[in-house]
Amino acid sequence: MADKYLGESIKKLGFGLMRLPMKDQEIDMEQTKKMVDAFMEKGFTYFDTAYVYIGGKSEVALKEAVVDRYPRESFQCASKLPMFDIKKPEDMAPIFQESLDRAGLSYYDFYLLHALNRDTAKKSEELDAWGFVQKMKEEGKIKHIGFSFHDTADVLEDILTKHPEAEFVQLQINYADWESDSVQSRLCYEAARRHNVPVIIMEPVKGGSLAAMTPEVQKLFKDANPEMSIPSWAVRYCASLDGIVTVLSGMSDEAQLNDNVSYMADFKPLSDSEREVVGKAVEILNSIPTIPCTGCKYCVDGCPQKINIPSVFTAMNKLTLYNNPESSKGEYGRVTKDGGKASDCIQCGNCESHCPQHIEIIETLKKAAAQFE
């Protein structure tokens, strides 16, 4: 019998409080409470928030929907220290205390250094963020310390080697990114396993992208099991991995929550034949022609309009691959919110003369403007 690992007894669906139902600019607390009740009723217990989610309102929603309404020992809460916003060591204690106060808690079960990558990992060393969370743990304000991660596997390997005190890591894992060169889901997962560090999974449905899918992939999944929703394949794929604490799903309405708990309440890992179906879905995704942009950014350097062309193309490719206009448009909105829209192109041709892939950038930007603006 293998030693029990941290989080083994936690059910494999966690409630991500990042995309809660909204009414105007405020969280729809009535619907959120109903969702929490349905979630807890089925034996699920893990809630994930962060200092920055929904402008700080997410931690408050955790208090109102969970902490004030359920016995403390009946659930686990996770929050995160925003390393990207921390400027000096003195910033950490007040932010951490505010996180506790907003949620009405005396301790967090899981507390993370938020979104570590090569740069924020370095900053965490310089500001001794690890020493800070360790101290909070010694004071009983944190039960388990870890970090969420967005970078390549070699960076993760380095952090895990330097910090054996990390009790868990939160990784972006899904079947579309499993072999991705940029996200490196598999390589990151394997690094965590080598270090014997349990994994919390985020983005199992790739920010909603794997919930829609092209008609061909939808047919593949529905032929294999007409009863199962399209996103259920993505969540179960992740939950079938070994050494998982839980799989976080950012549920933004009752329908999403009810679907998730329906197949995760008595979770069964993917069978061999189901794995083959997912493999075929990935093959279909890989065969769909997309804009062959490698993100080298040579086009951006010479652009007088400062259009982030690779990011615009990422949004376009997302639409082609996953058939999810809402998610793709959201992506486009994020990358152009500070200017540099596709329609700003003045057709000077600078970008095309610098593109190693010989992409017809001007024409493709016109299509992006028509699609997203």
**Most confident stretch, 89-93, 182-186, 334-338:** 89-93
pLDDT score, position 1? 36
Mapped onto helix, strand or coil, the DSSP state of residue 327 is helix
pLDDT of 33 strictly over 70: yes
What is the phi/psi pair of residue 108, to 5°?
A: -105, 140
Written as six digits, the tokens of 342 are 């596709």
For residue 97, the one-letter residue type is: Q
**Helices (DSSP H) in 50-184: which residue ranges?**
57-62, 92-103, 118-126, 129-138, 153-162
The answer to whether the beta carbons of residues 249 and 256 sit under 8 Å apart is: yes
Contact 192/171 with Cβ under 8 angstroms? yes
User: Which pLDDT tens digit goes with each residue over 169-221?
Assistant: 999 999 999 999 889 999 999 999 999 999 999 999 998 899 999 999 999 99
The CA-based diameter of the chain, rounded to the nearest angstrom, is 66
∠228-231-235 over CA atoms, to 5°?
100
**Total Cβ atoms within 10 A of residue 99:** 24
DSSP state letter for 210: G
Q: State the pLDDT at residue 233.
A: 98
Residue 171's nearest CA partner among 191, 149, 192 is: 149
CB atoms within 10 A of CB 58: 24
Are the C-beta atoms of residues 105 and 141 closer than 8 Å to each other? no
Average pLDDT over residues 53-67: 97
Task: Say what percent of the chain tops pLDDT 90.
Answer: 94
**Which pLDDT value is given to residue 207?**
86
Q: Quote the tokens at residue 345.
A: 């192109």
What mean pLDDT comes out for the span 29-43?
Answer: 98
The DSSP call for residue 337 is T
C-beta of residue 85 within 8 angstroms of C-beta of residue 129: no
pLDDT exceeding 70 applies to what percent of the chain?
Answer: 99
Question: What integer best gives the mean pLDDT of the chain?
Answer: 96
